[in-house]
Structure 1
Amino acid sequence: MISNEQIEQFIQQAHRVGDAGLTICSSGNISWRIGDEALVSGTGSWVPSLRKDQVSVCHVSTGEVLNGVRPSMESGFHLGIMRERPDVDVVLHFQSPYATAVACMKDMPADFNVTAEIPCHVGSEIPVIPYFRPGSPELAEHVKKALANHNSCLLRKHGQVVCGKGFDEVFERAMFFEMACRIIVLSGGSYEVLNQAEIEDLENYILNKKQ
């Protein structure tokens, strides 16, 4: 049973995403799994000013809408990711300025690991998905496939998707994704990335911190 407090928390997190400039107007969408159900921003809603009457409650396994509010047209990959990955409770599709500029580049960067935060939080490999119409089954399938074993992906001529366990993890992932793309754009393409040995050294450092 979804509580009013959980809906309010979801709305606060949506506004946080908007306040950070990760979405504008009706761009982007966000979801949160709570047990067998998920809250999803409604179709046509503005994430930065999401209201209670624009929050859709869906059954994760079937996609059935439980409260009469139509979910985002991208709910197919939101719920699909949750079905494929029990470790994921939050999915964010955003269109931040620099990351979206990169998504529209003719010459796509082959490597986004410009700082240590990228392999540590975003992912040392970020899948790039070809353009498909927003809301299409093809896009949903490609996003689900890409995030089956990654936490972030870039959608050509569209935007980005990140997922994770909680709101803070997903917000951090999106912000560092945008930071990396800002560095790439502002450098004019003249930038260095961490090499494989440096990335592996970071992985060992993180592992030792957890032990």
Structure 2
Amino acid sequence: MIQDYQIQEFLRQAHRVGDAGLTLCSSGNISWRIGNEALVSGTGSWVPTLPKEKVSVCRISDGEVLNGVKPSMESGFHLGVLRERPDCDVVLHFQSKYATVVSCMTETPKDFNVTAEVPCHVGREIPVIPYFRPGSPELAEAVKAALKDHNSALMLKHGQVVCGKTFDEVFERAMFFEMACRIIVLSGGKYNTLTNEEIDDLESYVLGKKG
């Protein structure tokens, strides 16, 4: 049973995403697993100012809407990722300024590892998803497949999607994704990336510190 305090926390986190400039007006959507159900921003809602009455409650297993509020058109990939990734409780689709520019480039970067934060938080490899109509079953399947073994993905001519265990993890992932793309765009394509050896050394250090 979804509690009011959980809805309030979901709203707080949605507004945090908007305040950070990760979404604009009705762009983007967010979901949060609570037991066997998920809170999903409602269709046509503005994440930066998401109100309680635009929060949809869906059953994760089959997508059935439990409170009469229609979820985002992208709920197919939100629920699909939550089904595929029991280790992840939050999914965020965002369209931040520079990362969205990168998604529209004629030549998509092959390597986003411009700083240590990228392989540590966003992902050593970021899958690039071909363009599919927003809200389409094809896009939902493509996102689900991309995030099966990754935590971040770039959707061509559309935006970005990240997943994680907590709101903080997902927020950090999205912010560093945007930071990397800002560096790529502002450098005019003349940027350095970490070598495989540097990333291996970095990962060993981080894992060693965590252990």
TM-score (norm 1): 1.00
Q: Which runs of 4+ in 1 moved over 4 A?
A: none
Give 3-state SS (helix, strand or coil) of 2:17's partner: helix
CA distance in 1 between counterparts of 2:50 and 2:101 reads 25
Give 3-state SS (helix, strand or coil) of 1:63's partner: coil
CA distance in 2 between counterparts of 1:75 and 1:190 reads 37
Q: Does 1:25 align with 2:28?
A: no
Q: Which amino acid is 1:147 matched to?
A: L
Residue 42 of structure 1 is matched in structure 2 by 42
Residue 160 of structure 2 is matched in structure 1 by 160
- What is the Cα deviation at residue 206 of structure 1? 1.1
Give 3-state SS (helix, strand or coil) of 2:118's partner: helix
- What is the Cα deviation at residue 207 of structure 1? 1.1
Instruction: Summarize the alignment of residues 57-68 of structure 1 with structure 2, pairs less than 5 Å apart.
Output: 57-68=57-68
Residue 203 of structure 2 is matched in structure 1 by 203
Q: Which amino acid is 2:38 matched to?
A: A
Instruction: Summarize the alignment of residues 115-134 of structure 1 with structure 2, pairs less than 5 Å apart.
Output: 115-134=115-134
Give 3-state SS (helix, strand or coil) of 2:13's partner: helix
Instruction: Summarize the alignment of residues 2-151 of structure 1 with structure 2, pairs less than 5 Å apart.
Output: 2-151=2-151
* Aligned length, in residue pairs: 211
- What is the Cα deviation at residue 210 of structure 1? 1.5
CA distance in 1 between counterparts of 2:164 and 2:120 reads 13
- What is the Cα deviation at residue 203 of structure 1? 0.8
TM-score (norm 2): 1.00
Residue 178 of structure 1 is matched in structure 2 by 178
Structure 1 residues 129-185: Cα deviation after superposition (integer angstroms, max 9, x where no partner): 000000000000000000000000000000000000000000000000000000000
Structure 1 residues 15-40: Cα deviation after superposition (integer angstroms, max 9, x where no partner): 00000000000000000000000000
Give 3-state SS (helix, strand or coil) of 1:118's partner: helix
Q: What RMSD, in angstroms, separates the aligned Cα atoms of the two structures?
A: 0.4
Unaligned runs of at least 5 residues, structure 1: none
Percent of residue pairs bearing the same amino acid type: 77
CA distance in 1 between counterparts of 2:202 and 2:163 reads 21
Give 3-state SS (helix, strand or coil) of 1:76's partner: helix
CA distance in 2 between counterparts of 1:93 and 1:46 reads 13
Q: Which amino acid is 2:184 matched to?
A: I
Give 3-state SS (helix, strand or coil) of 2:93's partner: strand
Unaligned runs of at least 5 residues, structure 2: none
